[in-house]
Amino acid sequence: MLAGGLLLLAQLGGGLTPSSKAVDQINRASKQPLPQAPPPAASTPPPVWVPDRVIAVPGEAQGGVVRVPGHWEYPRDNGRVLVPPLTVCNSQTGECRTESGGVMPPVEQRQSP
């Protein structure tokens, strides 16, 4: 009888039943290293703080000097930045006006608020 059981066990693949083969496959798969995630996509650059400044503006009355308040600028493509609308004031007269915002060169490359 014992010989018959051993013969049957040998015919079944050394004791491995279909369900035990599946368990072995799962165990092997769980011990393999995980695939690496791709690098994160490029994110939008952070905003840039532009501090208060005083600039000369051609055509401005009484000396052409205006005070531009500090503000955040938002980098865009091609090295340009998105500038919000700004209220600038003539430092001589105290007269203020709102300059429209838009996509412009960086602050160090422009001669307007």
Please tell me the total count of domains within the chain: 2
pLDDT tens sequence across 40-71: 887 788 999 999 999 887 766 566 788 999 99
> Which of the listed ranges 10-14, 23-27, 55-59, 99-103 does the model predict with the highest average pLDDT?
99-103
Question: Is 101 within a domain?
Answer: yes
Q: What is the DSSP string of 63-100?
A: TSEEEE--EEEEE-GGG-EEE--EEEEETTT--EEEEP
Phi, psi angles (nearest 5°) of residue 4: -65, -40
Q: Are residues 102 and 62 in the same domain?
A: yes
pLDDT tens sequence across 65-92: 889 999 999 999 888 999 999 999 988 8
What was the pLDDT predicted at 13? 53
Count of Cβ atoms closer than 10 Å to residue 88 Cβ: 20
Question: Is 41 within a domain?
Answer: no
| % of the chain with per-residue pLDDT over 70 | 80
Q: Are residues 57 and 30 in the same domain?
A: no
Tokens of 99: 């300059």
Q: pTM higher than 0.85, yes or no?
A: no
